[in-house]
Structure 1
Amino acid sequence: MPKPNILFVCVKNGGKSQMAAGLMRQAAGDAVTVDSAGTKAGDKLNALSVESLAEAGVDISAERPKQLTDDLVRAADLVVVLGGEAKVEPIDDTPVEVWETDEPSLRGIEGMERMRLVRDDIDTRVRALAGRLSA
């Protein structure tokens, strides 16, 4: 059976989707093909995202934001959209799952404390998905 190909998407591909991809690589190793992209890709990673993942033993510092394309969606076995801002239409019946991730800034939590909460929420979801994929 071929490895599942999971595509994580957010708007800029500088934070949440990059975090999810890095965490999935850590959780699933080479049992899953992982990619990430943005609906309006930015030009750099969120420095606090990179730092919060480094604390968890995940290095995404060499990653770069990438624009979402139809080919990326088509190649995926599952597209996971992080947050409600990015919109992805299925192509060729590729399933699209939306994760309404925690947004601590709505509770007045900012900076590194916010990013750790975001990281931990995404990590919990990624581990659950990795478990589903290996079942």
Structure 2
Amino acid sequence: MTEPAAASSQDASSTHPAERPVRAAEEEVAPVAVPAPRTEAPAVLFVCVKNGGKSQMAAGLLRHDLAVAGEEGAVLVSSAGTQPGSEINALSAEVLQDIGADITGETPTQLTPEAMREAGHVVLIGAEAEVPDLDGVEVERWEVDEPSARGITGRERMELVRDDIHLRVRELRDRLLG
């Protein structure tokens, strides 16, 4: 019968924890994994009822802000309506042009479950639009300022709506790209 090998004085199982040698920090801490670069751009789908005003404004503002920042295409941006109208709201387009964003070439589009799944992130603008719950699709609602409830109409109303949406778009952009 052979004798068991003598335990080394360095063997951690044979010494009291206080007697174990202290190792360098790089030996004790696992290296932090470097996140893999994003292979796919995040996407967002803005939705309102008619897709002629607020959802088009949000999409136009996000595209504009990305382009100005040199990040064009960093977020895939689309918009749709639950009951789309026939054209873009002229005053919405006008107040966006004031800040350099252009939605005049856009056309209201019907919302589909496929568009929601492709985006993966849906922003409902206003209280009226409703969408189905779909697995894997994140939905958030923006209750935007409605100046007409305070008697503010026309261009002034639309500028206030634009500015409210613009603040929300900037925050969303930061979340999506953060």
Instruction: Give the SS at the match of 2:111.
Output: coil
Counterpart contact for 1:73–1:90, Cα < 8 Å? no
Indicate whether 1:91 and 2:134 are aligned. yes
Please give the alpha-carbon distance, in whole angstroms, between the structure 1 residues aligned to 2:74 and 2:96: 21
Pairwise CA distance, 1:86: 0.3
Aligned match of 1:48: 91
* Residue deviations 1:62-108 (CA, integer Å, cap 9, x gap): 00000001110111121000000001123222000000000000000
1:27 aligns with 2:70: no
CA-to-aligned-CA distance 1:22-81 (integer Å, 9 cap, x gap) = 001112231100000000000011110000000010010000000001110111121000
**1:111 counterpart = 2:162:** no
Bigger RCO of structures 1 and 2 (CA < 8 A, at least 6 apart): 1
After the TM superposition, which parts of structure 1 deviate over 2 Å for at least 4 consecutive aligned residues? none
Distance 1:11 1:69 in 2: 13
Cα distance in 2 for partners of 1:41, 1:12 equals: 4
Equivalent in the alignment of 1:16 = 54
Equivalence for 2:82? 39
Q: Secondary structure at the match of 1:36?
A: strand
Task: Say which of 107, 113, 129 aligns to 1:64.
Answer: 107
Structure 1, unpaired ranges of 5+:
none
Q: Greater Rg, structure 1 or structure 2?
A: 2
Q: Deviations over 1:92-132 (max 9, x none)?
A: 22000000000000000000000000000000000000011
Aligned residues: 135
Partner of residue 3, structure 1 = 41
Cα RMSD for the two superposed structures: 0.8
For 1:134 and 1:27, how far apart are their aligned partners in 2? 13
Bigger helix fraction: 1
Seq. identity, %: 57
1:75 aligns with 2:118: yes
Structure 1 Cα separation of the partners of residues 75 and 136 of structure 2: 20
TM-score (norm 1): 0.97
Q: Give me the whole-angstrom Cα distance separating, in 1, the residues matched to 2:60 and 2:87.
A: 16
- Structure-2 separation of matches of 1:44 and 1:131: 30
Residue type of the alignment partner of 1:8: F
